[in-house]
Amino acid sequence: MFAENTEELAQNKLLLLYIIDKSKEPLTNEELTEFILENNYMNYFLIQQYLSELVNSKFIEYVEKENKKIYRMLDKGKITLYYLQDRIPENIKKYILSKFNQISNEKNKSTQIIGEYFKTDEHSYTINLKLVEKNDTLFSLYLNVTTEEQAQKICSTWKQNTEYIFKNILNLLINEEIFSLDN
């Protein structure tokens, strides 16, 4: 519909696969679109058209993970990219890799708020809430809950209220008066 020719169409779809594959963090539609628009690789409408076609053709999937929708590469996409990535200009591939390394280094230098969970058995989920600054873990807390909904809610609350929760836990641990038996 928008593509000028089939070679351009194929190259643009390969570029999307390459970006999704090489990103160190899973990308949302907004993040992927912003990255491509910032670098003038294609326009917004082409991005959305190609992403939709890649999902429909089972090269990638658009799934919910930790309360956000992300793109994830499927086997068909990995195999296609493996055989055809030489059709993406080398300078573009190098730029994308350097940009992702730069983004990763910036994230490592800054504060990271991590709320993740995994299923431990049929009726149990383990949650890890973390506060990391410049690769140093400032706070880490593991919890066990019985439902995935509880795990998702706790992770979401942690990410939205990290400073408040961290300060209050720290105050509780430091304030000896509240643990006094005299009260």
Q: Which of 85, 77, 71 is nearest to 15 (CA)?
A: 85
What pLDDT, in 10s, does the model give residues 4-32? 688 888 899 999 999 999 998 889 999 99
Q: pLDDT at position 141, please? A: 94
- Which residue type does 170 have? L
Q: Which of 65, 83, 85, 11 is nearest to 41 (CA)?
A: 11
What pLDDT, in 10s, does the model give residues 92-135? 999 999 998 888 777 666 788 899 999 998 889 999 999 988 77
Conformational region of residue 147, where left means phi above 0, alpha means psi within -120 to 50, and beta covers everything else: beta
CB-CB contact of 24 with 97 (8 Å): no
Residue with tokens 């992403």: 51
- What the chain holds in terms of domains, given with CATH numbers, is 6-108 (1.10.10.10), 111-179 (no CATH)
Q: pLDDT at position 3, please? A: 45
CB-CB contact of 58 with 74 (8 Å): yes
Strands 136-145 and 124-133: antiparallel
Q: pLDDT at position 115, please? A: 93
Residue with tokens 């593509």: 3
The model's pTM is: 0.60
